[in-house]
Structure 1
Amino acid sequence: MAAAPAAGRLSGSGFRVCSAGLTRSIRQPSRTSGLLRTAWQSTRKLHGGFVPTDKAARSVAHSQTFVQDYFSENTSIDRGWIKSGMLAAVRTIAETSGSGQQEVALNTIRSREQEASVKALTFEKESRSATEPERSETAATGSLDTVQHAQTDDVLPHRRRKRRKAALNPAEEPLPLDASSQLATAATAMPTSAFIRRRMATYLSLSKPRLSLLVVLTTTSAYSLYPIPDILSSMESPVTSTFSTSTLTLLFLTSGTFLSSACANTLNMLFEQRYDALMSRTRNRPLVRQLISPRAAAVFALLCGASGLLLLGFGTNPTVAGLSALNIFLYAGVYTTMKRISAANTWIGAVVGGIPPLMGWCAAAGEVATSEHHSWQDLLFSEGSLGGWALAALLFAWQFPHFMSLSHTIRADYQNAGHQMLAWTNPARNARVALRYSIAMFPICGALYWGGYVDSGFLLVSTACNIWMAREAVRFWKQQGAGGSARGLFWASVWQLPLVLVGALVCKRGLWDGFFGANESASIYEEPELATDGSPLGMESPKSLQRKPPPDINLAMMGFKRPT
């Protein structure tokens, strides 16, 4: 009879349960628990709500493993009591004897269910954090170590300066390999059947083609910039000033200079084979990779040097051939040896770079010389050689910002190979030298204008290029090569030299006078106007007033006899 009062109390509180249904629910707890749990669906959202009776649906509903794992750890709570849901509440209420006890039990159940939901959410967050990669822990450990080091380095200022410099110097991309290494790699990738192509690529890599082409560019620029006298210019052409005096001489000069440069570069690789293997930028050169034997390289250098000097000697003049031979000796003999002795090797290399413009200037001066027996003193130290020395000074000064920035980028390789370079022996002086010679480019370019070789347009072009390189040199000096300043100065120097040389050729004095009607001179064959009787009444032309009488020429001195 105790079941009837219990049922009445439940109906009074909002539940409709009969004694027969209560008995069936006790016999089949799984079905009744699912039916009675719908009243508490909104509170226990994480428990899946109503569980279907079929096996497939039950398997899906029980896939929420975190709820099961959580309650499996709470042994103090009966798993059957949790599963039965509201059935346990009904059973507890039926056993109580008062309505006050019933309300207390219901409040207890609700509080426990809320605590279970909160614990389930906490468990889910912990499971997600457990799946995070271990790098977060490593990062946290690293940050703690950084803080500890920062606290330790409070009394060590030099470490703070090193860390600040390292932060300003991010990891930069390495400069591209030189042309010799790239050609050697390309020759290795060629099939064995292409023997001739492999051999040609290997020999071309020995000549350092980029450097050789730069030498040819500076030589031909000086040759083309030489001022041609008006007496030798073509009277039929509207342009009284041309780029060169002879195309054939220009061809001999170009080919001879390239072969001489190839000889010097091959000897340099031959002497530095063991040291090139220690540097990442040069370890792919043909002699290091044994694509060619040292004996064959020596024969190639001998043939290039002999043929180049012969072409320069017979095609231009002996002075140009002598300058080329001096350049081969300075580069292969002195510069290559000094690299392992003193940092002064950079100045010797700059002298080597300044000789090719003198070669081109002497080639043009020897061709237009009025005397057949002109000496090397006349070609090098005469009044008209100022332009050649100005171009030589331009190339001499350009070597320092270009090479100082390059050597700073690969200073570790130079140190490993044992080459004495300012980039690693004295980095501060290395930056100062680059800045000093970058500023020297301004007066050197001005000397070409003051000497009368170029017009005012060259000042605009050269000043813009020099400001660009000087700006990068200042940044290189302030940051000591950090923050990409070395790379910026390197590429600025790469572009500055061709732009200045091309600007000098385009702005050569007198080049455009024929196109714009300037520099019109009267021909010596023009007949003078006949004198007329009477006054011209002020109608004289300015041209007739400015015309001078023909010079009194002694025909006997010129070999002409007076007719009898």
Structure 2
Amino acid sequence: MWRGGATTAFVARALRSRLLLDPIHHPVTSLAPISSARTSSSSTSSTAAANTIVEEAAVAAAVSVSQHTGSISDALRHYGNALVVATSGAGYVLGSGNIVDIAGLCCTCAGTMMVAASANTLNQVFEIKNDAKMKRTMRRPLPSGRISPAHAAMWATSVGVAGTALLAWKANGLAAGLAASNLVLYAFVYTPLKQIHPVNTWVGAIVGAIPPLLGWAAASTELSLNAMILPAALYYWQIPHFMALAYLCRNDYLAGGYRMFSFADPTGKRTAWVSLRNCLYMLPLGLFAYNWGLTSEWFSFEASLLTLGLTIGSLSFVLKPSPKTARRMFYGSLLYLPAFMAGLLLHRLPNEQKAHNLAEKSELDGVLYGADLQDKERATQKRQDRNPSSMQSRPPVAYASVAPFPFLPVPIYDS
């Protein structure tokens, strides 16, 4: 399953040489009894051989575990899981009220990371042969043979189920449903579509736009119109980002057997125009965020400047399609998204819908409490109506009917 026999032998030899030549750091060797030196040569050689076998086995196990952990770590880092978690966390903060639930935020990010890791691992399982043909992906854990497909599939299934269960437990069913549907869309729709039709880029953009919706749903338990700002930005941002990447890596994608939009565009003009069009779609997002009550007016100004800079980069790609201009647009897209999300979080306004829901809940609790008090009062009144004698107080004359006033008549009460 894992390779590394030469590395294991090298580490074992180094460890043995250190044990034999460095008694200062290994006092057990230096403090051995002198009588041990007088043992027979056969006993010494057999003991040394046994120690060597134990040392090699221990080092081999340690190296195997290290390689296994490193391979899993590589699979987790692939395709930018950090970006997925960041957008989900940003959606959670944007969907929160005046106070952000830190524990809920951490659980949402953890569940999102687990589901994203599952989807990315399944993607690599399905594309082992394709990744092995591409220079950019041939060193991944599965194509390089560091992890077997069966082991990776088991890992993906377990971590995907665990992540979805965590979201359902700590967030709500809507967030868990979005996570599960995005996993299916990515692994079982987008992944095979990459080898069938160039529309895969737009399907992948939908996949990338769902995590902030997931975070918003986890925080507010519902989706509203202003929840669409960050997902829309992510959707439109991914088009110029991946168009530039596909243009720069055309030969690599072609060798891997993928169908990209840039293959049918040898001059790069159509690819550049598609990128520019989607950059223009992002221009009004800052204004929408302000008008819909998601951010303050400052964000509309900052977002417009950011989008204008990315649009200028895509315009240069349109005017002169070349690897240089495509690379410039690609790097610009890498800077755009973190700056856009930072502006959203910096200028965000508390989610009015969530605050309204909390106010309605408090009001409803008050109404229910008042109704409960009224019910108790009615029940008390009914008991009094059924048995009035039990609640009737004796008049003052009753106290005068006993000594020292025996001359007054004793009142008679109806029972």
**TM-score normalised by the chain length of structure 1:** 0.52
Q: Distance in 1 between matches of 2:368 and 2:343?
A: 46
Aligned positions of 1:255-274 closer than 5 A: 255-274=110-129
Q: Deviations over 1:34-62 (max 9, x none)?
A: xxxxxxxxxxxxxxxxxxxxxxxxxxxxx
User: Which residue type is aligned with residue 263 of structure 1?
Assistant: S
Aligned residue in 1 for 2:38: none
| Match among 237, 242, 247 for residue 398 of structure 1 | 237
2:141/2:147 contact within 8 Å kept: yes
Aligned residue in 2 for 1:329: 184
User: Which residue type is aligned with residue 326 of structure 2?
Assistant: A
Displacement after TM superposition at 1:297 (Å): 0.7
Evaluate the alpha carbon distance shift between residue 458 and residue 274 of structure 1 in structure 2; reply closer, same or farther with a 3 A threshold. same
| Match among 57, 65, 83 for residue 214 of structure 1 | 83
Displacement after TM superposition at 1:479 (Å): 1.4
Displacement after TM superposition at 1:463 (Å): 1.8
Evaluate the alpha carbon distance shift between residue 248 and residue 408 of structure 1 in structure 2; reply closer, same or farther with a 3 A threshold. same
Q: Distance in 2 between matches of 1:553 and 1:268?
A: 52
Aligned residue in 2 for 1:487: 327
Aligned residue in 2 for 1:152: none
How many aligned positions are there? Answer: 308
User: Which residue type is aligned with residue 198 of structure 1?
Assistant: Q
User: Which residue type is aligned with residue 302 of structure 2?
Assistant: V
Displacement after TM superposition at 1:387 (Å): 1.8
Aligned residue in 2 for 1:507: 347
Displacement after TM superposition at 1:210 (Å): 5.6
Aligned positions of 1:99-498 closer than 5 A: 193-209=62-78, 211-228=80-97, 241-242=98-99, 244=100, 246-366=101-221, 379-380=222-223, 385-426=224-265, 427-480=268-321, 482=322, 484-498=324-338
Q: Distance in 1 between matches of 2:164 and 2:269?
A: 41
Q: Distance in 2 between matches of 1:406 and 1:255?
A: 29
2:114/2:163 contact within 8 Å kept: yes
1:394/1:445 contact within 8 Å kept: no
**SS of equivalent residue, structure 1 residue 490:** helix
Displacement after TM superposition at 1:556 (Å): 5.0
Q: Deviations over 1:67-121 (max 9, x none)?
A: xxxxxxxxxxxxxxxxxxxxxxxxxxxxxxxxxxxxxxxxxxxxxxxxxxxxxxx
User: Which residue type is aligned with residue 200 of structure 1?
Assistant: T
Residue 412 of structure 2 is aligned to residue 557 of structure 1:
no
**SS of equivalent residue, structure 2 residue 167:** helix
Aligned residue in 1 for 2:362: none
Aligned positions of 1:7-26 closer than 5 A: none
Displacement after TM superposition at 1:510 (Å): 5.9
Q: Distance in 2 between matches of 1:362 and 1:320?
A: 5
Aligned residue in 2 for 1:545: none
**SS of equivalent residue, structure 2 residue 140:** coil
Displacement after TM superposition at 1:417 (Å): 1.8
Aligned residue in 1 for 2:27: none
Displacement after TM superposition at 1:268 (Å): 0.5
Q: Distance in 2 between matches of 1:499 and 1:273?
A: 35
Q: Distance in 2 between matches of 1:264 and 1:483?
A: 31
**SS of equivalent residue, structure 2 residue 80:** helix
Which structure has greater helix proportion? 2
Evaluate the alpha carbon distance shift between residue 271 and residue 247 of structure 1 in structure 2; reply closer, same or farther with a 3 A threshold. same
Displacement after TM superposition at 1:197 (Å): 2.7
**SS of equivalent residue, structure 1 residue 442:** coil
Q: Distance in 2 between matches of 1:290 and 1:446?
A: 50
User: Which residue type is aligned with residue 450 of structure 1?
Assistant: N
**SS of equivalent residue, structure 1 residue 194:** helix
Aligned positions of 1:5-84 closer than 5 A: none
**SS of equivalent residue, structure 1 residue 292:** coil
1:455/1:508 contact within 8 Å kept: yes
Gaps of 5+ in 2: 12-59, 352-365, 382-415
Q: Distance in 2 between matches of 1:555 and 1:477?
A: 66
**SS of equivalent residue, structure 2 residue 144:** coil
Gaps of 5+ in 1: 1-183, 229-240, 367-378, 512-551
**SS of equivalent residue, structure 1 residue 434:** helix
User: Which residue type is aligned with residue 216 of structure 1?
Assistant: V
Give identity over the alignment, percent. 33
- Structure with more contact order per residue of length (Cα contacts < 8 Å, sep ≥ 6): 2
Evaluate the alpha carbon distance shift between residue 364 and residue 479 of structure 1 in structure 2; reply closer, same or farther with a 3 A threshold. same
* CA RMSD between the two structures: 2.6
Displacement after TM superposition at 1:477 (Å): 1.6
Q: Distance in 1 between matches of 2:343 and 2:213?
A: 19
Displacement after TM superposition at 1:478 (Å): 1.6
Q: Distance in 1 between matches of 2:297 and 2:65?
A: 51
